[in-house]
A and B are shown apart, each in its own frame.
Chain A
């Protein structure tokens, strides 16, 4: 019991705090740098501690410090309890969903130096640790259940602020997130059918070669899921709930730390979408060609490079982080590539375009699976 608590605490600190929060802080800087480059300016490069400048990577720290010491303004006649609760409700689901994402392979603690061909079989059960905070039978259903609660943060922020523009932003957020949640669920059904499991760990383990990756087996599902996920995180081109530059969104009345929580929550959601897409469609922590005891084939050549367990684990965790980073980078780049959708275009795309396509994807996948089974 004690081991379990300590192991879980270490995983939470490593995965959610060190990985999730740090990466989302870096992403805020990356987004500002990227937009600056698109607009032919330098962007945030000047924050420094003494001589240490790090290309402006200290800007997230400076931003956080600025927002924390700012005045915490509450609009008059705001509904106090819900106004305070709304940012927390926006942040909490974004953090909770990390619980079921596997960020590395099973680790055998007492045989880190040996080359293990079969980690599950060669390791004593009490030494075997899964690099995943909670391995649930319902796995991805937990993710979608918790993620579907994220909309309350936006809706309640809009309603409790006592501001008509905030209220309208909250209503836009609710309509958009509900519409695209359906597509997201339908798109991921194809993955459930192909891998026959709801557990992320099992899905990742089945993507051992690059031809088994979800993006290869479910190309249409991947595109639909990616679109819907960007809409769920309310990012451009689906950012009409916020529309920070022109129209006014649901958090218009928020300032200081409470605004920071909304802002941070959005970037944590970007990281979360990155981890989810990596897990479902890009092979999770699998390193192309790397088996659990080293390389047996390397880009088509037959080799026999045995590696100790710790090196394999490190390579696979590095592969996971790299993949997540690439997906996050892609999400940021989309913002400055595509113009924002109008409200009616958004609804038409969601209900008349993506949803029928996702249903078609499920039917097609099921038909192909059935045909393959009857051939065998």
Chain B
């Protein structure tokens, strides 16, 4: 019953306190950054716009949901639950794109990442079965701690340098139809045509490569 024993006993769950601490540790610099960035703009906008800035609040809400989802993703022991929280995070990211007027990006984010790639993730997780108590070899112990510390240091440095910088006094206005399907298509197929085509060829090579590798392994099995 390896496929199905997905219940985690309570004693094996990661302590609640540590994930709460991690949430606070990441939320505080994020909130500080966004307030520092947003306040002059908000003040400038308040002269003309009503006191309630809907776009700003959309950004806050979806940003907070993104961070919460990301934290839940990395703290879940059960791979299926972790994958589901990743879906939630990607969905919330689409919301952040919407608050930045990037409607096309938001739709593609949901369609490709939440709707297709994550389904494949879940598919594989279910096929592989229960990996809850599996030791990940080299990823455990000292090595993973060093890597994690390095990543945290890098992220913290970026956040602090962002905080030190002055927010621009006046935000640039986006053009009409910015982020729409029309403008995205124009940019992709006029200015960035070569990189776009190069990436699609790269993806095609990756797909063909995957097919070749999988076929070879089945042929070998048949010979045995």
Question: Do the two shown chains form a genuine complex with each other?
Answer: yes
Residues of A within 8 A of B (CB): 77, 79, 82, 136-138, 141-142, 144-149, 151-152, 155-156, 159-160, 162-164, 167, 170-171, 174-175, 177-178, 181, 198
Contacting A at CB under 8 A, from B1-25, are 3-7
Known: A137-B103, A138-B104, A141-B107. A148 touches B123 (CB 8 A): no
Most buried by B among A79, A145, A159: A145
Contact A141 B181 (CB under 8 A): yes
Contact A152 B181 (CB under 8 A): no
| Residue B193, interface by CB 8 Å | no
A178 to B3, CA, bound (A): 22
Hey, which chain A residues are within 8 Å of B127, CB to CB?
171
Hey, which chain A residues are within 8 Å of B111, CB to CB?
141, 144-145, 148
Q: Which of B3, B6, B80, B110 contacts A164 (CB 8 A)?
A: B3
Closest B residue, CB atoms, query A162: B4
| Residue B163, interface by CB 8 Å | no
**Chain B proximity of A240: nearest CB distance (Å):** 16
By Cβ-Cβ distance, the 10 closest A-B pairs, closest first, are A148-B115, A145-B110, A141-B107, A145-B111, A138-B107, A138-B103, A145-B107, A174-B123, A137-B180, A162-B4
Contact B110 A149 (CB under 8 A): yes
Name 28 A/B residue pairs within 8 A (Cβ), A-sorted: A77-B7, A137-B103, A137-B181, A138-B103, A138-B104, A138-B106, A141-B107, A141-B181, A145-B110, A145-B114, A146-B110, A148-B111, A149-B110, A149-B114, A149-B115, A152-B87, A155-B119, A155-B122, A155-B123, A155-B126, A156-B80, A162-B6, A170-B126, A171-B123, A171-B127, A174-B119, A174-B122, A178-B119
Known: A77-B7, A79-B6, A137-B103. A151 touches B126 (CB 8 A): no
| Residue B116, interface by CB 8 Å | yes
Hey, which chain B residues are within 8 Å of A152, CB to CB?
84, 87, 119, 122
Contact B104 A141 (CB under 8 A): yes
| Residue B55, interface by CB 8 Å | no
A5 to B119, CA, bound (A): 35
A175 to B107, CA, bound (A): 22
A136 to B107, CA, bound (A): 11
Hey, which chain A residues are within 8 Å of B116, CB to CB?
148, 178, 181
Hey, which chain B residues are within 8 Å of A146, CB to CB?
110
Besides the contacts A145-B111, A152-B84, what 4 more A-B pairs have beta carbons closer than 8 Å?
A144-B111, A145-B110, A149-B115, A181-B116
**Is the interface on chain B under 10, 10 to 19, 20 to 34, or 35 or more residues?**
20 to 34
Hey, which chain A residues are within 8 Å of B126, CB to CB?
155, 159, 167, 170-171
Closest B residue, CB atoms, query A159: B126
Closest A residue, CB atoms, query B5: A77
**Chain A proximity of B31: nearest CB distance (Å):** 29
| Residue B169, interface by CB 8 Å | no
| Residue B120, interface by CB 8 Å | yes
Hey, which chain A residues are within 8 Å of B104, CB to CB?
137-138, 141
Hey, which chain B residues are within 8 Å of A162, CB to CB?
4, 6
Hey, which chain B residues are within 8 Å of A148, CB to CB?
110-111, 114-116, 119
| Residue B152, interface by CB 8 Å | no
A142 to B115, CA, bound (A): 12
Hey, which chain A residues are within 8 Å of B87, CB to CB?
152
Closest A residue, CB atoms, query B177: A137
Contacting A at CB under 8 A, from B59-113, are 80-81, 84, 87, 103-104, 106-108, 110-111
Most buried by A among B5, B104, B114, B126: B126
Q: Which of B4, B7, B84, B123 contacts A175 (CB 8 A)?
A: B123
Closest B residue, CB atoms, query A161: B4
Hey, which chain A residues are within 8 Å of B106, CB to CB?
138
Hey, which chain B residues are within 8 Å of A177, CB to CB?
119
**Chain B proximity of A322: nearest CB distance (Å):** 31
**Chain A proximity of B50: nearest CB distance (Å):** 11
Known: A79-B6, A174-B123. A141 touches B114 (CB 8 A): no
Hey, which chain B residues are within 8 Å of A155, CB to CB?
119, 122-123, 126
Known: A82-B80, A159-B80, A167-B126. A178 touches B120 (CB 8 A): yes
Closest A residue, CB atoms, query B110: A145
A164 to B180, CA, bound (A): 45
A155 to B126, CA, bound (A): 9
Contact with A along B115-134 (1 / 0, CB 8 A): 11001101100110000000
Closest B residue, CB atoms, query A178: B119
A79 to B114, CA, bound (A): 22
Closest B residue, CB atoms, query A93: B115
Hey, which chain A residues are within 8 Å of B5, CB to CB?
77
Hey, which chain A residues are within 8 Å of B3, CB to CB?
164, 167
Contact with A along B47-60 (1 / 0, CB 8 A): 00000000000000
A144 to B122, CA, bound (A): 20
Hey, which chain A residues are within 8 Å of B6, CB to CB?
79, 159-160, 162
